[in-house]
Chain A
Amino acid sequence: MLTINNLHARVEEKTILKGLNLEIKPGEVHAIMGPNGAGKSTMGFVLSGRDGYEVEQGGATLDGNDLLDMEPEDRARAGLFLAFQYPVEIPGVSNLEFMKAAVDASLESRGEEPMSSAAFLKKAKEACAQVNLPLAFLKRGVNEGFSGGEKKRNEIMQMILMEPKLAILDESDSGLDIDALKVVADGVNSQRSADRSFIVVTHYQRLLDYIKPDFVHVLSDGKIVKSGDASLAKELEAEGYAWLEGYDIEENSEASA
């Protein structure tokens, strides 16, 4: 489904990704862990096409299509979804209007009819209930005045409505209490299927107790330095990152400072 091949990317003058390789097959859940500054968020931004992130080398394909050659909206329509670590507030644009425009854009790109307002509202209400947000949140401005946890749940609601092929969850667990964490994890688990894949970016093993990954990777200084199964996350939790081969303590302490 997703193939990342020797990806190098920089922001302004600083190279962040330095030869990232990753292969994700349909239905798989991959967790990516690693210290601050390793390039975890950069990976999501580069794949989704954020301005200012320049690819120097390598590539990424989604279902064989060159992802990096597409406009951000086309990547989303092709089935890529990024749950933001810091979702953006958009006052004056209602959550419902925003999500309908998003879903309709994807439908239209596939030559399908947009959903009727009533049908979409019904779906949106279900998704809203599923992530345990009051229905009033559909009418409110996108993320406007939402708490940190509410924003994260709103991201999951969008994911549920957009039915992506590949979802990247960028620290969807940060700042959540245990109840909110379960809501987010339940939302993700409800969407797991044989043809949908996930990249779960996290600092903590805690989330992986609820979303069981097939693979765990450690990203350090722009590339994957170790891969394993779910037990790797437990080791990392116990030992930290310093024992990993190829992990430069000095550089990484600088990056996280």
Chain B
Amino acid sequence: MEQPDSTTLDLLTRESPEAFEVIYDRYGRLAYTIAMRVLSDEAAAEDVVQESFIAIWRRFLTYRPERGSIRTWICSIVRNRAIDRLRGESGRLRYELALDESRGEPSLDDTWSQVVASLTRERVQQALRDLPVEQRQTVELAYWCGVSQSEISQMMRVPIGTVKGRIRLSLAKLRESLQGKEEEAWHRP
């Protein structure tokens, strides 16, 4: 999850194809994996990754480092395009949180940034497995299938308030779980 060096990002803003090559080699597999997770179709996933990286190449100046890492930005572009393709909603207007990561929040400690920097696949998988099954399913329907809260409500046959509650609880548990594991690791001899 290491951010590419600033020289690579600077070169990419100046339309350097070599810098693009570095970015693709670093995030291409992750992008393809995300597209496959959403679409379960090799040809469609390949198309989505190709469209996404061409968009990244053409619109790199729109990347705002203060709003998150380039990895998060790329993941978001690929996932959104894959979901649009899955649901046949090209160009759908989607709300996204646009928070300035660099803005100081006195109530936040630095623990989480260290958690994110040290996350491993096994730990995130375990944190997901630790969720109650209905919460995990709700998160997966929302995040990987782009299913709205009302659609989840119909699919799972629960009131919409329950869907909202499950999503809120699951994110809180995931955070606690990931952060807790990090703290355990620090205190391990």
Q: Do A and B come from one complex?
A: no
- Listed in ascending order, the chain A residues whose CB lies under 8 Å from chain B are none
